[in-house]
Amino acid sequence: MLNDLPIRKIIHVDMDAFYASVEQMDDPELKGKPIAVGGGGKRGVISAASYEARQFGVKSAMSGRLAEKLCPELIFVRPRFDRYKEISNRIRKIFFDYTDLVEPLSLDEAYLDVTENKIGLPSATLIAKKIRQRIYDEVGLTASAGISINKFIAKVASDYNKPNGQKTVNPEDVLQFLEDLDIRKFYGVGKVTAEKMYQKGIFTGKDLKSKSLEYLDKNFGKSGRYYYYVVRGIHHSEVKPNRIRKSLAAERTFSENLSSEIFMLEKLDHIAEEVSKRLEKSKVAGKTITLKIKYSDFTLQTRSKTLPYFISDKSIILETAKELLYQEKLNNSVRLLGISLSNLNTDKDKQSKPIDEDKKSVSVQLKFDF
């Protein structure tokens, strides 16, 4: 039945170059200059870049060396995560003045469900404007926002008018918006998947929509069903104020590439200890241990093992990580190792309701005032 489709007004708020903007706010001498948070030193990786730096192609997850080649005048700033968390908490307090349905994704972005809000304002668009203005007036930073009928579309829309802008995709515009959307802008479609879609003639949402559920299942596995529904405006994920942690991890990037497993064992010991401490602090345990290996050529490999019981003890984590390390020969020298635990004892099995793809649509929302 069409009436089964949930009717929501969702805002996705995304801070503009958050870490870099905090640094520029706290140090006026950095304003208007290309800066990178992190990335210093021989093996540093950038956590965030200011918009001035982005004009040169500098971006997060890029090596500091490459960033410096792209922008010789780049200023590297040491990260201050305690400060970013402090600012993030101030911003979240503003969110809670409008709704209790706030789902943080990270320090710099969150979903808000304002279908029913604390100020009784029917327009999600106006609420987003008020929130962004308050962030600027009370914190001193700019934010962008996307507003629409579900989390997927709101997140995509928040990237449209960055920085310091917002975009509303009204219910009656949803289907056309998704059909016109470049496949690379679909949240959940990474670089590898986009290339695969290109090879199959899928360049826009309209191309994706033309493919059957069977075709997408066959070619894209379990993600195929997700793509099939989101391109039709169907995304049932609710804004969850208390997000359940799905995994917990720690990793280290080395100053020199490691070529022998023997040299990696000491590193794994420290990483396992960090993971164990985080598990204890969060009061959780997990069954699945995953070893992450990033090689010197930046290729990534993961190896996993699921135990029949929940663990949080460092010794078991370390022994399992060692077993995974020796599972097969390394492809190259290693620049990064990481250990994560998933399948946590906080997970809850959820049965999603079956969807009749022939009947479901966003038409029920067309009368919904945004």
- Crossing angle of the two packed helices 81-96 and 124-138, in degrees rounded to 10: 140
d(CA 87, CA 82): 9
Q: Residues 23, 52, 103, 109: which is the catalytic one?
A: 109
DSSP H/E element including 15: strand 10-15
In the chain, the amino acid numbered 354 is P
DSSP H/E element including 58: none
Residues 162 and 16: beta-carbon distance below 8 Å: yes
Give the residue among 25, 16, 140, 141 at the shortest CA–CA distance from 77. 25
Residues 164 and 144: beta-carbon distance below 8 Å: yes
- Please give the order of strands across the beta sheet that includes 286-295: 247-258, 334-344, 286-295, 300-311
DSSP letters along 93-136, please? Answer: HHHHTT-S-EEEEETTEEEEE-SS-TT----HHHHHHHHHHHHH
Residues 36 and 177: beta-carbon distance below 8 Å: no
Residue labelled with tokens 């075709």: 215
Residue labelled with tokens 């663990």: 311
DSSP H/E element including 221: none
Catalytic residue list contains 109:
yes
Annotated catalytic residues are: 109
